[in-house]
Amino acid sequence: MADDARDKAARRRDPKPSATSRRSFLKSGAAAGVGGAAALAGLAAQEAQAQAPPLAGQVRWSREVDVVVIGAGASGLPAAIAARDQGATVLLVEQHFDIGGIAIMSGGMIHMGGGNRIQKEKGVQDSPDLAFTDWVNAENGEAKFNDRDLVRKWADESVPTFEFLTANGLDWDEKFLGGPGDASSVPRQVRPKEWPIRKDLVAFDQGRNGSGIVRALEQSARKKGVEILLSHRMTNVVREGDRRGRVMGATFVQVDRNFTPTNQTLNVRARRGVILCTGGHGNNVEFRRSFDPRLTAEYQWHGQTLAPHNADGAKAAMAIGASMWATANQTAEAGEAFNKGRIATRDNYIRGLITPESPIFFRAKASGMNVTDWQNLILVKENGKRFYDELDSSYDGFFAHAMAWTGDPAKLNGGGPIWAIFDSEAVKREKWGTEAPVVDRERGYFFSADTLEELAAQMKRNPFQWREMPGTTLRETVERFNTFVDTGIDLDFKRRKPTHKIATPPFYAAWATPSLHDSLSGIRINTKCQVMDLQADVIPGLYAAGETAGGFALHGLGRAIVFGRIAGMEAAKDGARSTRA
């Protein structure tokens, strides 16, 4: 995208305090007398290649501020505001062409209690002590592997963070208090109203109240003077002293609308701190497989159309010595590990959030089919065989069965692609559309044919169908299932009274491989959100929050917002800290 076009796109949310383009960013840096001749628009790409992280003495700084926040989502926005509130100059950098991260598509429920105003008005008795006790409960899967110090900090800072959000413009849905949910013993989920300006939304007419969080915080951040630089991805964190000193700043590469790097790079120095709020690792296949080798490439990350979650923050921190933390949380299968939802599109999140009206539909390609009755189809693996009771709606049950070995020695890890198989009568019952923009035929996530053998032969066009599906096997699977409809008894998986045969052409195959959801482990932080190394020493000048950080398996926005605010406050007053926590 050209610089002028990017400036225009950045201003569409708020024409007065515009987001910083590359041109104005470098110009302002030079005007401020920071970075000298290095602050030139033609900064060479080779200055900051994403290989070994450069040493501080090898970097020509393009710009200098007090605090650099990387990622403008649920943790990055409060971090930037909190740092600015402390008087720091703040640059907030985001790789998408807009702010919000995955939070802008969320339901907006913030799991954050401790006795806030809404809880009190609804008669809920809560306290920081009770919140802490709930979330270190060794009998609960969501809580038993949590870092007690981090939970204590979250519990103590929940009410101040609620007040912080109120002060920064969140319009609370006063009628709503959700929960208890997860490990909580009392209702703690609060949410704002959906953002009222339709053109500022990403998901439409689906109650995505997360927009009321990020748009309100964006507006507040701009008014307070936080600079926002869009369409730039962090490649390295720069540490002085041969990886033993203080973090000095970070390197960024400009990206296009599909997150593809250009040849433009920036080196930004942070006088007080760098805060990593880049999200989790769900979309980085090899990184996530370090936790669970079964998570091979066919399993998509549900937010990849908006927030890539490619482990950038964790990788950059680990490259300069950071440790991972509470990794058991990632494989405890707590929270929403997997989702069984829409079909016929790559991103099979449980809700069809990305519709043709969305500004990011060009990445999604299709809105997908919503299944209202799973009796209308069967699910098969890449080998053409059923593998479980399709009516089982439990996350854990679907997760376990999806990951099961196919029985083929050529595929020792992962469960392989999963396809929904149905016929034309099912299409009528479900009132599905079978062409774009509902389904993604173009990229190989939806097929149709007059015979099951022809249908199976087409599936090799899908990039994750690692072997050709045997057409004979698929036909035999369907024929056997149809006998279960005749008898009313599923002899293979005990599905409750199979109702509809798959017998009327054309036949259809729709991508139904579930999507990954939470990243529940990340790099180690202390209660000040300072990043720590393997010796439990602080890496000076480096902070992390949200799904970039590990230690606390709380699903959703609560931990991101609370620890984002803490990271911003602490980084803003950094500069002369001890290197010990």
Name the least confident of 38-52, 133-147, 393-407: 38-52
For residue 74, which of 209, 250, 247 has the smallest C-alpha distance?
Answer: 209
pLDDT at 263: 87
Q: Which of 451 and 51 is assigned the larger pLDDT? A: 451
277 lies in a domain? no
Residue 99 within any structural domain of the chain: no
> Is 351 a member of any domain?
yes
**What mean pLDDT comes out for the span 528-543?**
96
Looking at the DSSP bridge assignments, the partners of residue 355 are none
Condensed to tens digits (0 to 9), the pLDDT of residues 250-268 reads: 999 999 999 999 989 999 9
Which has the higher per-residue pLDDT, 166 or 408?
166
More confident call, 576 vs 387: 387
Residue 402 lies in a domain: yes
So what's the pLDDT on residue 56?
60
Binning pLDDT at 50, 70 and 90, where does residue 494 land? very high
Give the Å distances, CA to CA, from 311 to 252, 293, 318, 326, 473: 15, 16, 10, 16, 39
Contact 536, 93 (CB under 8 A): no
| Lowest-confidence pick of 113-127, 154-168, 279-293, 467-481 | 279-293
Q: Tell me, yes or no, whether 404 lies in a domain.
A: yes
Say which residues have a Cβ less than 8 Å from residue 193's Cβ, sequence separation at least 6: 171, 172, 173, 209, 212
Residue 362 has pLDDT above 80, yes or no: yes
Tell me whether the omega of the peptide bond preceding residue 506 falls within 30 degrees of 0, making it cis. Answer: yes
| pLDDT reading at 124 higher than 70 | yes
Over residues 421-426, the mean pLDDT reads 98
Q: Which pTM was predicted?
A: 0.88
Among 38-52, 56-70, 514-528, the range scoring the smallest mean pLDDT is 38-52
Residue at 18 is within a domain: no
In the predicted structure, residue 20 carries a pLDDT above the cut 60: no
Residue 204 pLDDT greater than 80, yes or no: yes
- Look at residue 51 and tell me whether its pLDDT is greater than 50: no
Split into its structural domains, the chain has a count of 1
CA distance 139 to 125: 22
Q: How far apart are CA 92 and CA 257, in angstroms?
A: 18
Q: What is the mean pLDDT of residues 576-581?
A: 39
pLDDT above 90: residue 424:
yes
Is there a domain that residue 4 lies in? Answer: no
- Average pLDDT for the chain: 87
**% residues pLDDT > 70 (the chain):** 85
User: At residue 357, does pLDDT exceed 50?
Assistant: yes
Mean pLDDT over residues 5-30, rounded?
A: 42
pLDDT exceeding 90 applies to what percent of the chain? 71
> Residue range 282-311: average pLDDT?
89
The residue among 10 and 325 whose pLDDT is bigger is 325
Q: What is the CATH number of the domain that holds 432?
A: 3.90.700.10
Question: Does some domain include residue 207?
Answer: no
pLDDT at 29: 43
CA distance 272 to 479: 67
Question: Can you give the residue range of the structural domain that contains 367?
Answer: 338-516
Task: Please give the average per-residue pLDDT across 559-563, as a whole number.
Answer: 97
Return the structure tokens found at 272: 């007080």
79 pLDDT more than 90: yes
